[in-house]
Amino acid sequence: MLYGMYGAKAKPKVVYPPLRQKKKPTPAEEAKMPKEPAPCPQKTVIEYPEMGKKSKYKYAPVDFIPRKKHADESQGEIDEMKKRRAVAYGPRGRDRNRMIEELQEIQRYGDKKKMDEALAKMTLARAQAAAMANEPIDDKARLRSKYSKQIPSLSSVTARR
């Protein structure tokens, strides 16, 4: 198939060696061959190394190194460490009410720019309210400004849908 696809009609000039099969020996040949019996697995003997004798002493060679500290010195250092003041490396205590207010402002106004603009509007409104507190209240002007906005008619609302 590949020869036809690539235009080569002749077989390649590669000489492969012929396959050879191993012949099974005849019973006469098997008898001539020496046969060694396999060892029985139950009779296998395992040689273990001899274990050394246990030490009669309760001290290990490490105990006699001159640089090792004795228990008295170690206990003295531990007592000194206990007398020192502990240092808390974590975050210190915080004013939870202030934290709650800050988070509420961030949630209400979003990022810093919007928050600054909203706070500026609030302070301006408070200043105007404080200035207006001294003047007499003009109900007509207040009501006129409140209701001067036009309410969208019912027909324009239904037309949008």
Q: Where are the domains of the chain?
A: 96-130
Give CA angle at 159 (154, 161), nearest 5°.
Answer: 105
- Each residue of 19-64: pLDDT tens digit? 888 888 888 888 888 777 778 888 888 888 888 877 777 777 777 7
Confidence check: pLDDT of 128 > 90: no
- In angstroms, the Cα distances linking 107 to 101, 110, 114, 120, 159 are 10, 6, 11, 17, 36
**Section 57-78 average pLDDT:** 81
pLDDT band of residue 70 (cuts 50, 70, 90) is: confident
* DSSP alpha helix (H) spans, the chain: 2-6, 27-32, 71-83, 96-109, 112-133, 139-147, 154-160
SS3 content of the chain, % helix, strand, coil (to 5): 50, 0, 50
Band of pLDDT at residue 80, cut at 50, 70 and 90: very high
Residue located via tokens 């209701």:
147
**Statement: residue 12 has pLDDT above 90:** no
Give the integer Cα–Cα distance in Å for 113 and 115.
5
Residue labelled with tokens 């020496």: 34
Give SS3 for 74: helix
Angle between helices 96-109 and 112-133 (to 10 degrees): 100
Categorize the per-residue pLDDT at 137 as very low, low, confident or very high, splitting at 50, 70 and 90.
Answer: low
